A and B are shown apart, each in its own frame.
Chain A
Amino acid sequence: MRWIAAHPALVNILLLVLALLASVAVGSVLIPPLAIFDVLRLRLGGASLPPNLEPYAAILFSLRLPRTILAALTGAALAGSGAGYQGLFRNPLADPYLLGVASGAGLGAVVVMSLRLPYGWFSLLAVPLAAFLSAAATVFVVYLLARSGRTLPTTNLILAGVAVSSFAGALTSFLMLYSTGELRRALVWLLGGAASSGWEPVLGMLPYVSLGLGILLTRGHALNVLQFGDEQAQQLGIPVEMVRGVVIAAVSLATAAAVAFSGVIGFVGLIVPHLVRLVWGSDYRRLLPISCLLGASFLLFADILARIALAPQELPVGIVTALAGAPFFLWLLRRTRAQQAW
């Protein structure tokens, strides 16, 4: 335990490597390790595959690898964003969806679905694109509503976030009921995201998540100072309003991309930062990157469980994150409550 606490980066990188390997190796279809090796060797060597390996190749390259990367990116985006928002709002209950990203994305997706575009690359692309844009736009509306003069009080932000989320959520439900026919598609999307396969979602998500998390990771020190309150932070030389704007923009970018391609997955953004805090302390310069790493591993393991728990059925991964995450988190919280992580 002491060794783990002393080496946050090493521990979490090892854990992530393990999670990535496990996610490629484990699934409802058992692929023998040797077959994985053969497929990779032949594919990378440019050779054609014998017919008995073909389904394995399809499963590996069109399903498992992209799914693995997507889950890792999503977990990193959500956990990093959660840590950022908890720091920004000085509130342990803040999660990446606090300012309406999730409901905004849902609304955008359902609006495009209700247009009933003819099947094709455009209609398939339009859904995540609209979800992303609408998520970003929703946060921007929240931001505008919360501004009072030249300041941006956090209470205003949270209240505006709740109000705008509810409004977007209600609008989504209304559209689902009254633009009939695509109801099921909307439900499937809201339950588990685009649920597509292949590399397009990974490529679509990568730039926004990298940019958002990249910006967020540079604000660790500012978030540290913000823990002492807006006024002290300002007196220590932090441009508080600007930091707030930058963090919100960065988190929204990363989370909107995650939601657009992976759907709304609860709990990761809430508990992973707390886990990191309990084990490795609250210095945001460490907390942010370690949360990203652990978030990726956490969602990968949750996704593996979702694949194998009721195989060949698949569970929505959000159920797993909550079912597996909550008890573990509570156990850790009880054990380390004396440490005053907050």
Chain B
Amino acid sequence: MLIVDSLSVAYTPARLALNHVSFELAAGKVLALVGPNGAGKTTLIRALSGVLPVLAGKVWVAGKDFLALKPGERARLVAVVPQARSLPPAFTAWETVLLGRTPYLNWLGQTSPKDEERARQAMQRTRTLELADRRVGELSGGEQQRLLLARALAQEAPLLLLDEPTTHLDLHYQINLLDQVRTLARQNGLTVVVALHDLNLAAHYAEQVALLVKGELKALGAPRDVLEPALLSQVYQLPLKRIPGASSDAALIVPAAL
């Protein structure tokens, strides 16, 4: 359960990167963040994960004032799947996933059998267990991205943030990963916020869509209401149209020229 209350972030004093953004998301639901480049999707993910200094506003995760917590406590509430790029190649997949247990370790960083069990479960669920002894540097982009998802799951946090996780993945892995994310939300009651470029993937996998434009929340609601051709054409400055999808309630947003 996530409540974002009038959150503002500024990289420079002159311009707000996020301007009083507010929304709520229930447990077990997936929210897709969409919007053009520079709209503030990644900024919002980073602010929600606590790595950006926040100008004003509050974030409540599972009933706790998230931004007032220490890093260790934050990491037990919020897990992040970053974009897979330049991971340290020398770690094995197993070591990488085990790092997800960091917020639960003692001051020497020793892992217990319980931590190892949780890491193993996370790898099982993301189908990465067979990669366990491989070095991260040898893995494909898709494998690395699944590994980062496994690491985030090992963190056992109620809120999961994903920053454009499909960017470097082929179609197969895009669908595969988002299927997993939706299953996790539904089965484990995780609250999920995922930044996505692909409007159609957002429409398909999210219960709610938030459209960000220049740091402001332009629209929030069910995919059908937010992903509306007239509004999107204006936001992306490109004529867009809706075409029917495979099923009766599905529709695709494509450039009008196609």
A and B in direct contact, judged by CB atoms within 8 A: yes
Q: Is the CB of B88 within 8 A of A228?
A: yes
Partner of B90, one of A230, A232, A281: A281
Given contacts A230-B51, A237-B75, 7 further A-B contacts (CB under 8 A): A218-B107, A224-B95, A225-B102, A235-B49, A236-B99, A339-B90, A340-B137
Bound Cα distance from A240 to B72, whole angstroms: 11
Known contacts A221-B105, A225-B99, A342-B89; A239 and B70 CB within 8 A of each other: yes
Q: Which range contains the number of B residues in contact with the other chain?
A: 35 or more
Bound Cα distance from A236 to B51, whole angstroms: 11
B116 to chain A, nearest CB (A): 14
Cβ of B162 under 8 Å from chain A: no
A residues near B51, Cβ cutoff 8 Å: 230-231, 234-235
21 contacts between A and B (CB under 8 A): A221-B102, A221-B110, A225-B102, A227-B88, A228-B87, A231-B82, A234-B49, A235-B49, A235-B79, A235-B82, A236-B103, A237-B74, A237-B102, A239-B72, A282-B91, A283-B95, A340-B89, A340-B135, A341-B90, A342-B88, A342-B89
Annotate A246-264 by CB proximity to B: 1 below 8 A, 0 otherwise. Answer: 0000000000000000000
How many cross-chain pairs have Cβ atoms below 8 Å apart between A and B?
A: 78
B residues near A150, Cβ cutoff 8 Å: 53
Cβ of B40 under 8 Å from chain A: no
A258 to chain B, nearest CB (A): 25
Q: Is the CB of A227 within 8 A of B91?
A: yes
Cβ of A222 under 8 Å from chain B: yes
Cβ of B241 under 8 Å from chain A: no
Interface residues of B in 81-138 (CB under 8 A from A): 82, 86-91, 95, 99-100, 102-103, 105, 107-110, 135, 137
* B binding-site residues for A, Cβ under 8 Å: 46, 49-51, 53, 70-76, 78-80, 82, 86-91, 95, 99-100, 102-103, 105, 107-110, 135, 137, 155
Bound Cα distance from A229 to B107, whole angstroms: 20
B residues near A222, Cβ cutoff 8 Å: 109
A151 to chain B, nearest CB (A): 9
A residues near B110, Cβ cutoff 8 Å: 221
Cβ of A206 under 8 Å from chain B: no
Q: Is the CB of A342 within 8 A of B90?
A: yes
Residue of A nearest to B76 (CB): A237
Q: Is the CB of A218 within 8 A of B108?
A: yes
B residues near A27, Cβ cutoff 8 Å: none
